[in-house]
Amino acid sequence: MQRWKIPRTALACVAVLAGSQALADDPVRLGPLQARAGEAISGYISIDALQDAGAQIPVSIIQGAKPGPTLALIAGTHGYEYPGIIALQRIRQGVDPAELSGTLLLVHIANPPSFYGRTIYYSPADGKNLNRVYPGKADGTLSERIAFAITTQVIEQADYLVDLHAGDGNEALRPYVYLPQTGQANLDEKSRGLAVAFGLDHIVLDKGRAQPPEASLYTDQTAISRGIPAITSETGQLGLSDDYWVSLAEDGILNVMRHLQMLPGEVKANEQVVWLEDYEIIRAPAGGIFRPAVRDGYAIAEQGLLGELVDPFGERIAEVRAPFAGVVNYVLGTPPVSVGEPVAMISKLAQP
């Protein structure tokens, strides 16, 4: 939602706008927080305990002194994916509300049970993947209640959304952005603007996630299915949080903010984008120990060897091969794997 401030001088002679003025002067709210123009504030959205311990989700509002769009930035949906979390600390401390046009809604750690419990994919509270339970339920399991709070309090009051991910704690990942494709030209064009501005040189056209709003499953689809342009970024891998990975996320966010004219300055978009499509997650045919034969970012031929599964004694259980020629977006980078879990993601080259 755009928030435009009406000059008080104009208001005196336009009585009919009194209601809008009240609206424009209303603080931006997020959980227990509220911020007026030029203010930044941090605190927690409280998810009350039910059959579990509940959760405290750290959030910030940075409300610019000038009008502009509302950009939601969500990190830590998967608790072992650290670069986005650290990048949002830098954004919180580095963006001056006096210089900002519009509003930033920051979710610093969307999934505290997973973050503090150091789990990949799944919450230790309910065994669910937060990025598969949107839009959540008010009275559901802890992951579902977190998703419900983020949907209703963050996503539904945003004009744009970036969901910040990385290769999970077990994934060696070559940085890329997912660009959701809906077939709605206006929405897709706005999402594409975010994706190009984010600045990573691999963009995966995501045609497989046209979810309905009531079963949106993913964070980005929750926005997209409500008509809000969104992307998902992937910067980082294997639980690393060093400056290289954090800066990729931070620079991407700042570039998106310049693209949306929330900050002054030129967008430093990458013009050498490799466009990818028809991605496939290759899953383990059995539990075991995975030995990768490729690294993240490699090109691979159809039926090329991605790796092999061995048993605890090192004896081969199965080979895992690429179903088509493409690019390895990520590959399992630590040994253990359970049946049905990802061992790699590959994508086909797309026409620009």
Can you tell me the distance from the alpha carbon of 199 to that of 267, in angstroms, rounded to the nearest whole number? 9
- DSSP conformation letters of 31-58: TTEEE-TT-EEEEEEEE--SSS--EEEE
d(CA 201, CA 272): 6
Residue 182 is given by DSSP the state -
Please identify, using beta-carbon distances, which residue of 103 and 151 lies nearer to Zn ion: 151
How far apart are alpha carbons 280 and 209 in whole angstroms? Answer: 12
Q: Which is nearer to Zn ion, 81 or 277 (CB)?
A: 81
Rounded Cα–Cα distance for residues 253 and 88 (Å): 9
SS3 for 243?
Answer: helix
Look up residue 5 and give its two tokens: 């401030």
* 3-state helix vs strand vs coil in the chain, percent to 5: 25, 30, 40
- How far apart (Å, rounded) are the C-alpha atoms in residues 229 and 226? 9
Closer by beta carbon to Zn ion, 78 or else 108: 78
> Which of 290, 330 has the CB closer to Zn ion?
330
Instruction: Give the nearest distance from C-beta 75 to Zn ion in angstroms.
Output: 10
Count Cβ atoms below 10 Å from residue 348 Cβ, excluding itself.
16
Provide the binding-site residues for Zn ion, judged by CB under 5 A: 78, 81, 165
| Shortest Cβ 17–Zn ion spacing (Å) | 44
Cβ of residue 129: shortest distance to Zn ion, in angstroms?
9
* Residue closer to Zn ion, measured from CB, 70 or 119: 119
Nearest approach, Cβ of 213 to Zn ion (angstroms)?
A: 21
274, 201 Cβ separation under 8 angstroms? yes
* Least distance in angstroms from the C-beta of 59 to Zn ion: 19
| Cβ 81 to Zn ion shortest distance, Å | 5
Q: Using DSSP, state whether 342 is helix, strand or coil.
A: strand
Q: Smallest gap, in angstroms, from Cβ of residue 84 to Zn ion?
A: 9
Looking at 199-334, list the stretches that DSSP marks H as alpha helix, in order from N- to C-terminal side. 219-224, 243-259
Measured CA to CA in angstroms, residue 282 lies from 128, 133, 155, 226, 307 at distances of 20, 22, 30, 30, 11
Written as six digits, the tokens of 1 are 């939602």
Nearer to Zn ion, 145 or 165 (CB): 165
We find the least distance from the C-beta atom of residue 137 to Zn ion, in angstroms, to be 21
Q: Which is nearer to Zn ion, 78 or 128 (CB)?
A: 78
Q: Which is nearer to Zn ion, 151 or 232 (CB)?
A: 232
